[in-house]
Amino acid sequence: MKFAFSTLGIPALPLHDTLWLAATHGYQGIELRVHPEEPVHTGLGITERADVVAEFKDAGIEILGLAGYARVAEPGDDTPVLAEIRALLELARDLGAPFIRVFPGGGTEQSADEADATAARRLAAAAETAADLGVRILLETHDSHREATAVSRVLGAVGHRNAGALWDVMHTWLGGEQPSTSFGALSPYLGYVQVKDIASAEDTTPLALGAGVLPLAECVEVLSRGGWDGWLCWEYEKRWYPHAAELPTLLTAGREHLCRLLNEAA
């Protein structure tokens, strides 16, 4: 497996510094949070996009994916949601990123069946564009569909190779799923896995990997046992928890912890 971290852990840090951190601490990839306050966003022009590609190439680091904020199950008109996804897909195409991340965002204004149908309809439409651009759309286990079984229900209805899953291990755990259940539901669709650690279900302030309660060892074990050999991406949510420890001070120990878990699983 290969290791990446999300720029959510280092809010608005210049790209050059982010790439230096990845190379220095032994990470092969970076998940880019796509937002106007970040260095990489959908408003970049062609020249700026080419500069991003060149910086990654020079650093020898891969762009794992673009973490966007489109909500495919949210009530309302499809048009703005599909336009947001298309902008992310075109940015991914231009940067050479294999994945974009979208959220469910079903809310409480509709039933689970209605949210599923809305998400499946939009993902099916967007997946055709994604296929043309050579990118996969990954629906994250999050908010209204935090369980892997809920995400797999949507993706099964879509039935398109370019619509897949992103397993956030915190949300499936908060949803009460065992790692084996989560992996079993997502394995036909899995793009990559977001790892993290927290103190408890009540306190989700990010911690160093291995310092909290999330079943990271079990997650790595089921992935390894299932023959999955993709990316583990550390999503350290510093952006939402300003008093959390600084991610750069934790990066080497985090990679070493993941290596230990992989060795034990093997």
Q: Give per-residue pLDDT as tens, 18-56.
A: 999 999 999 999 999 999 999 999 999 999 999 999 999
CA 192 – CA 180 distance, rounded (Å): 16
* Residue 192 predicted with pLDDT over 90: yes
* Residue 230 predicted with pLDDT over 90: yes
- Model confidence at 101, pLDDT cuts 50, 70, 90, reads very high
CA distances (Å), origin 215, targets 131, 211, 222: 34, 11, 11
Q: Which residues pair with 65 in a beta bridge?
A: 31, 99
To 10 degrees, what angle do helices 112-133 and 148-158 make? 60
* Residue 82 predicted with pLDDT over 90: yes
Question: What is the total residue count of the chain?
Answer: 266
* Residue 109 predicted with pLDDT over 90: no
Mean pLDDT of 227-250: 97
Residue 143: the pLDDT is: 96
Amino acid type, 154? V
* Residue 238 predicted with pLDDT over 90: yes
CATH number, span 2-265:
3.20.20.150
- Smallest Cα–Cα separation from 112: which of 144, 78, 148, 81? 144
* Residue 266 predicted with pLDDT over 90: no
pTM for the predicted model, two decimal places: 0.98
For the chain, how big is the Rg over CA atoms in Å? 17
- Smallest Cα–Cα separation from 22: which of 39, 40, 6? 6
Mean pLDDT of 128-156: 98
- The mean pLDDT of the chain is 97
* Residue 197 predicted with pLDDT over 90: yes
H or E stretch at 46: helix 46-59
CA 106 – CA 219 distance, rounded (Å): 26
CA 117 – CA 158 distance, rounded (Å): 9
Residue 108: the pLDDT is: 84
Q: Which residues pair with 103 in a beta bridge?
A: 71
* Residue 263 predicted with pLDDT over 90: yes
